[in-house]
Chains A and B, each alone.
Chain A
Amino acid sequence: MIKVSGLTKDYGARRAISNLSFDAQQGEIVGFLGPNGAGKTTTMRILTGYMPPTDGEAIVAGYDVVEESLEVRKRVGYLPETVPLYTDMVVFDYLKFMGELRKIPNVDARVDEVLDMVGLIDRADGFIGNLSKGMRQRIGLAQALLHRPEVLILDEPTIGLDPGQVVEVRELIREIGKERTVLLSTHLLNEAQNICDRVLIINKGKIVAEDTTENLQARLIGAERVIIRVRGEADDLASAIKQVKGVQGVETKQDGSVEFEFASGKDVRPEVAKQVINSGYDLIELRPLGMSLEEIFLELTGSDNKKK
Chain B
Amino acid sequence: MRNIWTIAKREYDNYFNSPLAYVVAFSILLPMGIYFSLIMFVSSQQAMMGGPAPESAPINWLFVFLMIFLSPALTMRLLSDEARMGTLELLLTAPIRDFELVAGKWLGALMFVLALASLTLVFPLIINNFVSPGIDWMVILSSYIGMILVCAALLSIGTGISAIFTNQFAAFFVTLGLFFFLWFMVSLPANYLQQGGDVLNYLSLSTHFSQSMNNGTINLGDVVYYLSLIALGLFAGTTAVEIRRWR
Query: How many inter-chain residue pairs (CB < 8 Å) link A and B?
Result: 60
Give the distance to chain A from B87, nearest Cβ to Cβ, in Å: 4
Can you list, as one digit per residue, whether each of B67-94 has a CB less than 8 Å from chain A (1) or not (0)? 0000000000000000001111111111
Stretch at the interface among B2-10, B33-41, B143-151: B2-10
Q: Which residues of B contact A (CB under 8 A)?
A: 2-3, 6-7, 10, 14, 17-18, 85-97, 245-247
A100 in the interface (beta carbon within 8 A) = yes
Size of the A side of the interface (Cβ < 8 Å), in residues, is: 28
Q: Which residues of B contact A48 (CB under 8 A)?
A: 93
- Taking a contact as CB atoms under 8 Å apart, the answer to whether A101 and B86 are in contact is no
Rounded to whole angstroms, the CA-CA distance of A101 and B3 in the bound complex is 6
Can you list, as one digit per residue, whether each of A41-62 has a CB less than 8 Å from chain B (1) or not (0)? 0000100111110000000000
Q: Which residues of A contact B86 (CB under 8 A)?
A: 80, 82, 84
Q: Which residues of A contact B (CB under 8 A)?
A: 11, 45, 48-52, 70-71, 73-74, 76, 78, 80, 82, 84-89, 97-98, 100-103, 143
Q: A51-B246, A97-B6, A97-B10 are in contact. Are A102 and B87 (CB under 8 A)?
A: no
Q: Which residues of A contact B97 (CB under 8 A)?
A: 70
- Taking a contact as CB atoms under 8 Å apart, the answer to whether B14 and A88 are in contact is yes
Q: Which 5 A-B pairs have the closest CB atoms?
A: A84-B86, A84-B87, A73-B95, A74-B95, A48-B93
Q: A84-B85, A101-B3 are in contact. Are A49 and B93 (CB under 8 A)?
A: yes
Give the distance to chain B from A69, nearest Cβ to Cβ, in Å: 9
- Taking a contact as CB atoms under 8 Å apart, the answer to whether A85 and B87 are in contact is yes
Rounded to whole angstroms, the CA-CA distance of A9 and B3 in the bound complex is 30
- Taking a contact as CB atoms under 8 Å apart, the answer to whether A84 and B246 are in contact is no
- Taking a contact as CB atoms under 8 Å apart, the answer to whether A50 and B94 are in contact is no
Give the distance to chain A from B93, nearest Cβ to Cβ, in Å: 4
Give the distance to chain A from B82, nearest Cβ to Cβ, in Å: 9
**CB < 8 Å neighbour of B89 from A80, A87, A89:** A80
Q: Which residues of A contact B18 (CB under 8 A)?
A: 88
Q: Which residues of B contact A70 (CB under 8 A)?
A: 95-97
Rounded to whole angstroms, the CA-CA distance of A11 and B247 in the bound complex is 7
Other A-B pairs, 17, CB within 8 Å; known A70-B97, A100-B6: A49-B92, A50-B92, A52-B245, A52-B246, A74-B95, A76-B93, A82-B86, A84-B86, A84-B88, A85-B87, A86-B85, A87-B85, A88-B14, A89-B14, A98-B90, A101-B96, A143-B90
